[in-house]
Structure 1
Amino acid sequence: MYHFIFDIDDTIYDQIIPFKKAFDRNFAHYAHLSLDDLYRYNRHFSDEVFEQTVRGEMTLEDMHAYRITEAFRVLEIRISREEALQFQQDYAAAQGELEPTPDMREALDYCLAKGLKFGVITNGPAEHQRKKVKQLGIYDWLKPEEVFVSGELGFMKPDLQIFRHVEEKLGLDRRRTYYIGDSYANDIVGAKGAGWQAIWIDRRGQTLPEGGAQPDITLGAHDSVADTIRRICEGESVG
C-alpha cells in the first residue's frame, strides 16, 4: 500500500487566488504587471528570510513587508511599507476564504476512502498554519496529529528531521511514500533526500536546476493529482 503526504500552500489550494484578490484591491493601477512574476518573486523573498523569521531574528510584520516590497523592486516599482502592510492585511483576509481545489478534494477523498496512510507537512508559524488548515477543512480528512507544522516541531522542510519524524509518527514505509508539493527547494529536495518519492506540482512552469534532485512525477497546472494517485495505487505507469 502506498502512502501520500501533502504540502499545503500552493498544493492543496492555489495560493495565487488570494494573492490576486489582495493585488486587485491595492495595486490595480499596476495591472500591466505579470501577476505570476510578482507572485513568484514574493515567494522567493519569503523563502529567503523564512528561517530568520522562525528564529525570531525578523518579525512576521517585517517579513511580510520585505517580501512584497522586494518583489515589486525587482519589477522596478517602489512601494511604501504602509502599502506593503495593507496588501498583507488584505492577503491574510483573502486567505480566510481558502478552500481546496476540486482536484485536491477528490485526491483527499480517494485516500480516505481507500484507507491509505496520508498526512500533511507544512512549513510556517504554528498558529498561522493551523488556522489555515482549519479554514481549508483538512480536519474533515485527517486528525490534527496527522498534520505536521514546522513551527510546532522546531525543524522544517527540507530538513531530513521533519521527514523522519513523520515516518515514525505515521508508521510510513519511505520506499512507498510519495510527497506532493509545489516547492522544488523544500518539497522535492527534502523528500528525495529522505528517500521518499516526490510528485512536483509545477503550476507556474518553473525550470528545474541542472544536476539537482529530480521529481519522480511532474504535474502541470492542468494535470490531476487525484488521477495520478489513483493510477499509482492501481499499478499503472505514471510519469
Structure 2
Amino acid sequence: MKNIIFDVDDTLYDLMEPFQKAHEELFADQTDANCEELFKASRTYSDEAFYMAIEGKIPNEDEFAYRIIKTYKDVGIDVKREQAKTFEERYRYHQNHIHVPKEIADILTMCQSDFEKIGVLTNGKVKNQGKKIQKLHLSNWFDQNTMFISDEIGAAKPDVQAFYKVQEAMQLKPEETWFIGDTFEVDVVGAKNAGWHVIWFNHRKRPMPEGNIVPDIEVQTAKELKKALQEI
C-alpha cells in the first residue's frame, strides 16, 4: 500500500477566505484588483518573507506586514505598517473560523482506509500552524505524531531535509510515498527532489513554471483529486 502526505495551507482548507474577508473590510474600496490575484501575490510574498525570516534578513514579527505591504504596492496602494497590522488582526480573526470543506473531509476519510500511512507536512511556526491544526480538527484523520511543522522539525519545504525527516519519522519508502500540495515551488519541487511522487493540487490554476521538474499528476478540483487518489 502507498502513503499520502498532505500540505495544509490552501490544500486542506481555503486559505483565501480569511484574506478575502480582511481585504473587503479594509481595502476593497481602494482598488478594483481581483481579490484572487491579490491573494496569489500575497502567497508568493508570504513564502518570500518566510525564508527571509529564517535567514535573519527580517524579524519574524515583520513577516505578515511584509507580504501585505508588497501585495498592495503592486496595485498602487501604499499600505502603512499600522494598516498592515490591522489587516493581520482581521485576517487572524477570520482564520479562527477556518474549516475543512466537506469534499476534502471525504477525501481524508477515504485516505484513512485506503492508504497505509497518511500525514501532514506544513511550513510555519508551531504556534500558528498548531492553532490551524486544532481549528481544522485534523486529529480526526491524523495521529499527532504524523503531523509535522517545519519550525518543529528544523527544516522547511522545499528543503529536501523536511521531507527526509518525515520519511524517517514515519518509516516511509520514497517510491511508495505521495505528497499533495498547492504550491509548485514549495510542494512540488521539494517533494520531487526528495524522490517522492507528487499530486499538484492546482486549484488556483497557476501556470506551471518552466523547468525539468513536473508533478506526477496535476488536478484542479477536489473531485479530480479524489479520482486521482482512487487510481493510485
Question: With structure 1 as the length reference, what TM-score do the two structures score?
Answer: 0.92
Partner of 2:123: 123
Partner of 1:9: 9
Partner of 1:82: 82
Indicate the RMSD between aligned Cα atoms, in angstroms: 1.5
* Counterpart contact for 2:198–2:217, Cα < 8 Å: yes
Partner of 1:141: 141
With over 3 angstroms needed to count, the CA separation of the structure-2 counterparts of 1:77 and 1:58, relative to structure 1, is: same
Residue deviations 1:169-193 (CA, integer Å, cap 9, x gap): 1121211111000011110001100
For 1:25 and 1:142, locate their aligned partners in 2 and report how far apart those are by CA, in whole Å.
35
Partner of 2:39: 39
- 1:58 is displaced (CA, Å) by 2.6
Q: Which moved more, 1:159-168 or 1:186-195?
A: 159-168
- 1:136 is displaced (CA, Å) by 0.5
Residue deviations 1:99-153 (CA, integer Å, cap 9, x gap): 1122211111011133530100000011111111111010111111100100001
Number of equivalenced pairs:
232
Letter matched to residue 184 of structure 1: F
For 2:171 and 2:25, locate their aligned partners in 1 and report how far apart those are by CA, in whole Å.
45
The runs of 5 or more residues in structure 1 that have no matched partner are: 233-239
Letter matched to residue 144 of structure 2: P
| 2:217 counterpart of 1:217 | yes
- Secondary structure at 1:209 match in 2: coil
Letter matched to residue 183 of structure 2: S
Partner of 2:199: 199
For 1:149 and 1:43, locate their aligned partners in 2 and report how far apart those are by CA, in whole Å.
18
* Matching of residues 96-107 of structure 1 within 5 Å: 96-107=96-107
| 2:30 counterpart of 1:25 | no
- 1:163 is displaced (CA, Å) by 1.0
The runs of 5 or more residues in structure 2 that have no matched partner are: none
Letter matched to residue 120 of structure 1: V
- Secondary structure at 1:120 match in 2: strand
* Matching of residues 48-197 of structure 1 within 5 Å: 48-114=48-114, 116-197=116-197
Residue deviations 1:44-102 (CA, integer Å, cap 9, x gap): 11111212323554334311111111111111221221111111111111111111122
* Counterpart contact for 1:54–1:125, Cα < 8 Å: no
Question: With structure 2 as the length reference, what TM-score do the two structures score?
Answer: 0.94
Residue deviations 1:191-223 (CA, integer Å, cap 9, x gap): 100111100011222111222310011111464
Q: Percent identity?
A: 35
For 2:45 and 2:209, locate their aligned partners in 1 and report how far apart those are by CA, in whole Å.
18
For 2:25 and 2:131, locate their aligned partners in 1 and report how far apart those are by CA, in whole Å.
23
* Counterpart contact for 2:103–2:223, Cα < 8 Å: no
- Secondary structure at 2:85 match in 1: helix
- Secondary structure at 1:12 match in 2: coil
Partner of 1:236: none
Letter matched to residue 120 of structure 2: V
* Counterpart contact for 1:61–1:85, Cα < 8 Å: no
Letter matched to residue 214 of structure 1: V
* Counterpart contact for 2:2–2:115, Cα < 8 Å: no
- Secondary structure at 1:208 match in 2: coil
* Counterpart contact for 2:104–2:222, Cα < 8 Å: no
